């Protein structure tokens, strides 16, 4: 069951990822059921993914806990997926909830389980766990919505300037802003708090933005080479990620000294293990101008859109798009 859509702000991103994944699924091997989650959280059985999605008149999908089945309503057809492939991002998709539902329904699911999904969804928890295990992340503070605000001066004294302000549990740069003074900081807090009561304030790292793919579980974990994002604006925001007019470049492999590349690959693997990831993840870094390596975040359901880094990183390693998806499905079935 290819599960996509979802309730988060990344609904549209999920649909474009899922279209690519569907096209890459080998139809001689797989019989694909399309489970679409609309923005209100209702699940539908779609008959195709390529057209504009219209759920009117379609059957809804209900999980039957403990049975390995879904049933459709009103038609009561039983659907028994061997595996769920969640191409969902953000809240109620990437955060452990779908993973918990799959577990309760007794259906294997591709990727990380409940714990790692929940941990990595929250950038603050991720950072705390990484720092605890000796992996460097950008210096940060946390702001909860009912707490008093610190001024720009107070925060920049501690963290430096400019600052990044982000919702703790979002993705696709939604709600992320950079702030260089009090006015920008208040606006940044207001934006971030629209998405989450928990907000992360981070030192802006000046340097290069780099990403690494990790694939597999247990004793069979593969780490890709390093890809670089060269954003066409101040930072890699939503439009620079997805707009047709974006001139952001993805460079694979990133031009790096071998020592730096290998150090980053080791850190990516360590982070994957420390965070408890399974199946796959993309670990995102900054390499500062003074050559320090910082993890910015880990994504347990990386994008599969046309511009997405994860499939491109593996293509560079000689894997086809279909090969990546086969590997992910085998990993879930072995688990
Ligand atoms: N500490 C930072 N220093 C420099 N740039 C940052 C920092 N944090 C975030 N960014 C920029 O903002 C983008 C989005 O932030 P990120 O933490 O990756 O959130 P998301 O989960 O929304 O992708 C990053 O891709 C990067 O361009
Ligand atoms: Mg990111």
What domains, with CATH codes, occur in the chain? 2-109 (3.40.50.20), 119-136+206-334 (3.30.470.20), 140-203 (3.30.1490.20)
Q: No. of H helices and E strands in the chain?
A: 10, 16
Say what the pLDDT of residue 34 is: 98
The CB density around residue 204, as the number of other CB atoms within 10 Å, is 18
Say what the pLDDT of residue 229 is: 97
Beta strands in 126-206 (DSSP E): 140-144, 163-167, 177-179, 198-203
Say what the pLDDT of residue 335 is: 74
Check the CA dihedral 98-99-100-102 and report its sign. positive
Using the mean position of ligand 1's atoms as its centre, give its distance from the Cα of residue 137 in Å.
12
State the Cα–Cα distance between residues 311 and 89, nearest whole angstrom: 16
Beta strands in the chain (DSSP E): 2-5, 34-37, 43-46, 60-64, 69-73, 78-79, 85-87, 140-144, 163-167, 177-179, 198-203, 207-217, 220-230, 249-251, 280-288, 293-299
Q: Which ligand is nearest to the CA of 159?
A: 1
174 Cβ contact partners less than 8 Å away, ≥ 6 residues apart = 9, 10, 167, 195, 238
Q: Which ligand is nearest to the CA of 173?
A: 1
Say what the pLDDT of residue 91 is: 87
Beta strands in 231-321 (DSSP E): 249-251, 280-288, 293-299
Buried residues in 64-92 as b, exposed as e (16+ CB within 10 A): eeeebbbbbeeeeeebebebbbbbbbbbe
184 Cβ contact partners less than 8 Å away, ≥ 6 residues apart = 152, 177, 178
Q: Kindly report the length of the chain.
A: 335
Ligand 1 lining (C-beta closer than 6 Å) = 138, 164, 166, 170-174, 176, 202-205, 209, 231, 235-236, 284, 286, 296-297
Say what the pLDDT of residue 244 is: 86
Q: Say if residues 168 and 200 touch (Cβ distance below 8 Å).
A: yes
Say what the pLDDT of residue 90 is: 85
Name the DSSP letter for residue 148.
P
Say what the pLDDT of residue 327 is: 97
Helix (H) or strand (E) holding 73: strand 69-73
Say what the pLDDT of residue 9 is: 87
- Rg (the chain; Cα; Å): 20
Q: What angle do CA 40, 310, 172 make, to 5 degrees?
A: 40
Say what the pLDDT of residue 180 is: 97
Residue whose tokens read 């019989």: 31
Q: Which residue's C-alpha comes closest to atom 8 of ligand 1?
A: 164
- Strand, coil or helix: 115: helix
- Which residues of the chain carry a pLDDT beneath 50? none
Q: From residue 117, how far is each of 86, 130, 145, 305 by CA, in Å?
A: 12, 15, 24, 20
Using the mean position of ligand 2's atoms as its centre, give its distance from the Cα of residue 225 in Å.
18
- CA of residue 40 relative to chain centroid, distance: 21
Probe residue for ligand 1, chosen from 236, 239, 299 as the CB with the greatest number of ligand atoms within 8 Å: 236
Task: Classify residue 2 by burial, with Cβ atoms within 10 Å: 0-12, 13-18, 19+.
Answer: buried
């Amino acid at each position: 069951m290819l599960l996509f859509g979802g309730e988060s702000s990344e609904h549209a991103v999920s649909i474009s990822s899922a279209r690519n994944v569907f096209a890459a699924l080998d139809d001689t091997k797989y019989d694909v059921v399309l489970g679409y989650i609309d923005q209100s959280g209702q699940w539908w059985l779609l008959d195709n993914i390529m057209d504009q999605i219209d759920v009117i008149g379609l059957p809804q999908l209900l999980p039957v806990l403990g049975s390995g089945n879904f049933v459709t309503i009103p038609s009561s057809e039983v659907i028994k997926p061997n595996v769920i492939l969640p191409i969902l991002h953000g809240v109620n998709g990437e955060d452990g909830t779908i993973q918990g539902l799959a577990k309760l329904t007794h259906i294997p699911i591709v990727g990380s389980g409940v714990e790692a999904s929940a941990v990595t969804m929250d950038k603050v928890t991720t950072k705390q766990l990484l720092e605890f295990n000796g992996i460097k992340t950008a210096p940060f503070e946390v702001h909860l919505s009912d707490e008093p605000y610190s001024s720009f001066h107070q925060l920049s004294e501690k963290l430096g300037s400019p600052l990044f302000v982000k919702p703790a549990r979002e993705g696709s740069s939604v709600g992320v802003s950079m702030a260089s003074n009090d006015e920008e900081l208040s606006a940044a807090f207001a934006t971030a708090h629209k998405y989450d009561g928990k907000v992360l304030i981070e030192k802006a790292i000046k340097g290069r933005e780099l990403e690494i793919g990790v694939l597999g579980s247990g004793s069979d974990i593969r780490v890709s080479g390093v890809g670089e994002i060269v954003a066409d604006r101040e930072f890699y925001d939503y439009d620079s990620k997805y707009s047709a007019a974006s001139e952001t470049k993805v460079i694979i492999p990133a031009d790096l000294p071998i020592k730096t590349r290998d150090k980053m690959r080791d850190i990516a693997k360590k982070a994957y293990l420390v965070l408890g990831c399974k199946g796959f993840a993309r670990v995102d870094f900054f390499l500062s101008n003074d050559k320090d390596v910082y993890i910015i975040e880990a994504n347990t359901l990386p994008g599969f859109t046309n511009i997405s880094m994860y499939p491109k990183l593996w293509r560079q390693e000689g894997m086809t798009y279909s090969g990546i998806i086969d590997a992910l499905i085998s990993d879930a079935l072995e688990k």
